[in-house]
Amino acid sequence: MAETSTNAPDSAVIEPAKVSSSAATVRPRLHTGWAYSGLAVVSAAYLVLTIWAPVSPQTLHTYSLSVLTLHLLQLTVVVPVIGIWFIALWGSLRFKRYALAIYHDPDGRALNLVSNGLLLLVGSLAITSLMQALIPRLTAVGDGTGWSILTHHTTVVLALLAFATMFVGSLRLARLVQLRDFQRWQWLVFAALLVMGVVYAIVLVHDPYRTQTTNPTQHPSYYLTDGWILGTIVLPYLLSWYFGLMAAACLWMYQVYSPGVIYRRALSRLSVGLVVIIATSVLIQLLSAAASSLTRLGLSDILVLLYVLIIVYALGHVLVVIGARRLTTIEEVQ
Amino acid sequence: MAATLHDSIVEVVEGYLGPAAQRFVDRQIKFHLHKPPQEITGADLAQLTEWMRISMALLTDNRQLIDECLQRLVQLV
């Protein structure tokens, strides 16, 4: 079609327009093999560490489980979680490829920043899960304190970096639509943050094991004093949630006020997907922070909550893939 | 500086393809008309709109929307 297209198209003789898949047009080269291989290694290590972790007799007693049943239950959570990591990586890389294809324009550079933040968020999820899986084994040999503190701080620092990067990118997108509704969204985010902060504070105050414990079967949640918990865990988390929620708000603003009927429809899948991912990630972080209180719930409640979060998180990434694919089609059609 | 025909085309298409409009229009001109986008003239418009009709059909099923866009383009000259 391309070689003879200088004359006006005649519907009787021309081939239909096509979506080019040629790397020479706009599709950038993105070496995804390393990312998938790395995730496969992390996943294998996570699976092994989770299943081979020392079993706490208190856990077996609390939930009336045998060791075999516990391992089977762990598998029903760990295997879907690993599946979600791969879906998340697939979605993030698809989004990254789209952003790189239009990197020479302001919307492309902003979207590229958002995609960097998303990749960091997905990577941090796998890395910190692996670090957490190591805690029981190191604790069993009496060396878990340092590792536990490092894991908590790595989790919060990576979340902060990921959400801050997404926020900077999405703020640039919101500027492209003149920051319309920005103030209103900022107040809504502050209100949400206040609620989350209060919930987090209540959970922490009611956690008797947050700094130390006299119970030999129960390890401290943080191994830190209240001052250190507030300064190095709570406040950075609140800041990262502010960045995450504001990133979601800016993406929403950009999708609502972007010009272009067809573009907006394609963008809506991507932005809704990103908003779902950010909201789910923030919720997962809040629940992880409240993990010790969750043990008061029944096992089935905890599992249902986990599965719902996993499914919603995965749906967010599937929406990102669909949106990125539609937007890429706009950039590739000839 | 007065807006060129290229600028006017991009402005119309922006109402449909948003920030992707200029990239889309430039690609159509380069690929089908084999000329730099800024050199498009009124004489090329009929040919360009026909190609755009085919390409936009890959992006939306809404024929009315495509017709509306192309109608606005034709009216530029």
> ipTM for the complex?
0.92
Give A334→chain B minimum CA distance, Å.
Answer: 6
Please list every residue in chain B whose beta carbon sits closer than 8 Å to the beta carbon of residue A266.
Answer: 59
Domain count, chain B: 1
pLDDT tens string A191-211: 999 999 998 888 888 777 777
What does the radius of gyration of chain B's CA atoms come to, in whole angstroms? 11
Work out the mean pLDDT of chain A and round it to a whole number: 85
Q: Cα distance from B4 to chain A (closest Cα, Å)?
A: 20
Statement: residue A89 has pLDDT above 70: yes
pLDDT digit string, tens, across residues A231-255: 999 999 999 999 999 999 999 999 9
Expressed as residue numbers, the domain containing B41 is: 5-74
How far is the alpha carbon of A325 from chain B, nearest alpha carbon, in Å? 11
Residue A170 is classified by DSSP as H
User: Does B19 touch chain A if contact means CB atoms closer than 8 Å?
Assistant: yes
Distance CA A314, CA A311 (A): 5
Quote the CA–CA distance of A125 and A128 in Å, as a whole number. 6
What distance in Å separates the CA atoms of residue B49 and residue A158, rounded to the nearest whole number? 49
Q: Which of residues 37-56 of B touch A (CB under 8 A)?
A: 46-47, 50-51, 54-56
Domains of chain A: 70-332 (1.20.1070)
Question: Which pLDDT band, with edges at 50, 70 and 90, does B77 fall under?
Answer: confident
CA distance, residue B1 to nearest chain A CA (Å): 22
Which of B10, B29, B54, B66 best tests the A interface by mutation, with the highest count of A CBs <10 A? B54
B1 or A289: which leads in pLDDT: A289
Q: Is the pTM of this model over 0.80?
A: yes
Q: Do B54 and A16 touch (CB under 8 A)?
A: yes
Place A7 in a pLDDT band, splitting at 50, 70 and 90.
very low
* Confidence label for A294 from pLDDT (cuts 50, 70 and 90): low
Backbone angles phi, psi at A273, to 5 degrees: -60, -45
CA A100 to chain centre: 20
Give tens-digit pLDDT for A250-260.
999 999 999 99
Query: Which positions ≥6 away from A211 have C-beta within 8 Å?
Result: A220, A222, A223, A224, A225, A226, A229
A297, pLDDT greater than 60: yes
Greatest Cα pair distance in chain B: 37
Residues of A in contact with B18 (CB under 8 A): 258-260, 262-264, 267
Tell me which DSSP letter residue B29 carries. Answer: I
Q: Which of A10, A26, A261, A331 to mutate to test the interface with B (most CBs of B within 10 A)?
A: A261
pLDDT at A56: 76
The structure tokens listed for A305 are 């909550």
- Tokens standing for A265? 């429809």
Give the number of beta-carbon pairs within 8 Å between A and B. 92
Listed as own residue / partner, the contacts of A149-153 with beta carbons closer than 8 Å and 24 or more positions apart are A149/A222, A149/A223, A149/A224, A152/A222, A152/A224, A152/A233, A153/A232, A153/A233
* Amino acid residing at B5: L
Q: How many CA atoms lie within 13 A of A190 on its CB side?
A: 6
Confidence of residue B2 (pLDDT cuts 50, 70, 90): low
Question: How far apart, in whole angstroms, are the C-alpha atoms of residue B51 and residue A256?
Answer: 29
HEC string for A56-109? CHHHHHHHCCCHHHHHHHHHHHHHHHHHHHHHHHHHHHHHHHHHHHCCCCHHHH
List the single residue in A with minimal CA-CA distance to B10.
Answer: A260
> Could you tell me if B77 lies within 8 Å of chain A, comparing CB atoms?
no
- Report CA-CA distances (Å) from A95 to A46, A257, B20, B36: 26, 21, 16, 30
Does the distance separating the beta carbons of A176 and B60 come in below 8 Å? no
Higher pLDDT, A59 or A225: A225
The C-alpha angle with vertex A32 and arms to A17 and A171, in degrees rounded to 5, equals 80
